A and B are shown apart, each in its own frame.
Chain A
Amino acid sequence: EADIYQTPRYLVIGTGKKITLECSQTMGHDKMYWYQQDPGMELHLIHYSYGVNSTEKGDLSSESTVSRIRTEHFPLTLESARPSHTSQYLCASSELETQYFGPGTRLLVL
């Protein structure tokens, strides 16, 4: 089982603020992913990375950006938060196909 951490767990922020959601894993997995999920709804892939300096956009268009400078770290940034960004953001990592999820960050933009 992967050890994958996300901070903060909860964030309430005003419109227009810049935010960074942190995701770190200690398993040395090359592949990392960001999903957006509204309560009780499906998982939408918004970004993924196959390794350092590799990032791709996912199936759901997102105004967020990501970076992968270190294998263990995959932060997600919103330059200007909006109420429509209110959601849960889940980070995951994998060695092969099976993905292991972090606890998630619940974001509320007022």
Chain B
Amino acid sequence: QQPVQSPQAVILREGEDAVINCSSSKALYSVHWYRQKHGEAPVFLMILLKGGEQKGHDKISASFNEKKQQSSLYLTASQLSYSGTYFCGTGGSNYKLTFGKGTLLTVNP
């Protein structure tokens, strides 16, 4: 079951904050977050595990809400380099990830 990402797209000014959500209709065990810049390959950002803590590095962090079966990615004080498409991928028992359709983030000066 493909996770649902929201919003589909968001436009920010440099320095603004954003939240991207990833929801699943089935129980979540792990959520992987990736960022893909235009014309490049997806780059791994972080993994959230069931029962794990909120993670983050620099001004990008993420949380995992088991009750809601949802993960949220928080981008604080956005920089131009944050622009790209963000994908969440949900894991299961077979090492395959099911990716959402992506959220296009545009940060303008």
Contacts and interface: CB of A to CB of B under 8 A. Distances in A.
A102 B95 CA distance: 18
A5 B87 CA distance: 22
B41 A42 contact: no
Interface residues of B, number: 21
Contacts, number: 46
Please tell me the size bucket of the interface on A: 20 to 34
Task: Output the residue of A43, A45, A90, A94 with the most chain B CB within 10 A.
Answer: A43
Chain B contact residues, majority secondary structure: strand
A97 B85 contact: no
Interface in B91-109: 91, 95-102, 104
B97 A97 contact: yes
Nearest to A45: B96
Task: Output the residue of A33, A50, A98, A102 with the most chain B CB within 10 A.
Answer: A98
Interface in B17-54: 30, 32, 40-44, 47
